[in-house]
Amino acid sequence: MGKAKVRFDSFDPTAAADAAINGRASKGSVGSRTWGQSTSSERPTHKTHGTNSKLKGPITTSQFDGSDDHLDLSTAHSLSTSDAWMFVIAFVDLDTSSDNTLLGFTGTGGNPDGYLQIGSGGTSVKWKPATGKRPEVSTAINNTDNSSTNYTFGSDVEVLILYQTGGQQFYYNIDGDLIGQTSVDGGFSQFCDLTEIGGHSGETEFLNAELIDVRIYTGSDVPPTTTASLQAIGNRYKQYKD
């Protein structure tokens, strides 16, 4: 395993309380990229340590308001179907009254709008390939039809781990439990581009939560998918729970 290719890290202890986030460097191994938002009113807000009672220690977060806040990656990151992927997304205070977009993608041809969402109620994971040729795929996680664990995302510290390999997507929670899987592939012929967090190019269904961390791994950098490894990824964020 290695470092994430692209990362949005909310940990920024020198940022001022409630500062608008713009131009934050990606800490991934692919350098010289930043997360920003050209429209000032659509920038998420920096939350300093101690402002969220569900968190302890030095951790800081980025508050997305669910209305229009989102961040664009300065240079889109191309994902190939020939690689395995792992997305690790940690957050707290998720408002599940509507769909929440975690990541936005663009593709080529037809409708280029793709996304990864947690569905309304926290009971599903939705994947829309960045192509007009494939529909949204919604995978229920609040049953054990496609998993070992019945799970619902709530407002506590949460993690969604998405692992894609071949024609399968697997979803795991903060405990490393398999909460869903689907036989959908990436839904595009060769590549799609990661372009946004908190929204997608359709500009609806924005993220309403405090984001802690986003890591995008591909290929040989993908962490092991053993139970111990998935649990250790969850523990990375579980230790911040107050």
CB of 39 to another protein, least distance (A): 25
What is the Rg, in whole angstroms, of the alpha carbon atoms belonging to the chain? 16
Rank residues 12 and 68 by Cβ distance to another protein and give the closer one.
12
Distance CA 39, CA 136 (A): 28
Return the H-helix or E-strand segment holding 73. Answer: strand 71-80
Rank residues 171 and 206 by Cβ distance to another protein and give the closer one.
171
CB of 29 to another protein, least distance (A): 8
Rank residues 84 and 232 by Cβ distance to another protein and give the closer one.
232
Rank residues 88 and 192 by Cβ distance to another protein and give the closer one.
88
CB of 16 to another protein, least distance (A): 12
Beta bridge partners of 121: none
CB of 231 to another protein, least distance (A): 6
Rank residues 70 and 215 by Cβ distance to another protein and give the closer one.
215
Residue keyed to tokens 């990362």:
7
**Collapsed DSSP state (helix, strand, coil) of residue 222:** coil
Assign 3-class secondary structure to 104-145. Answer: EEECCCCCCEEEEEECHHHCEEEEECCCCCCCCEEEECCCCC
CB of 20 to another protein, least distance (A): 17
**Collapsed DSSP state (helix, strand, coil) of residue 26:** coil
Rank residues 28 and 114 by Cβ distance to another protein and give the closer one.
28
Torsion angle in degrees (nearest 10) through CA of 188, 103, 201, 31: -90
CB of 54 to another protein, least distance (A): 14
Distance CA 59, CA 47 (A): 9
Q: Name the residues that contact another protein, by CB under 8 A.
A: 1-4, 9, 11-14, 27, 49-50, 56-59, 215, 223-224, 228-229, 231-233, 235-236, 239-240
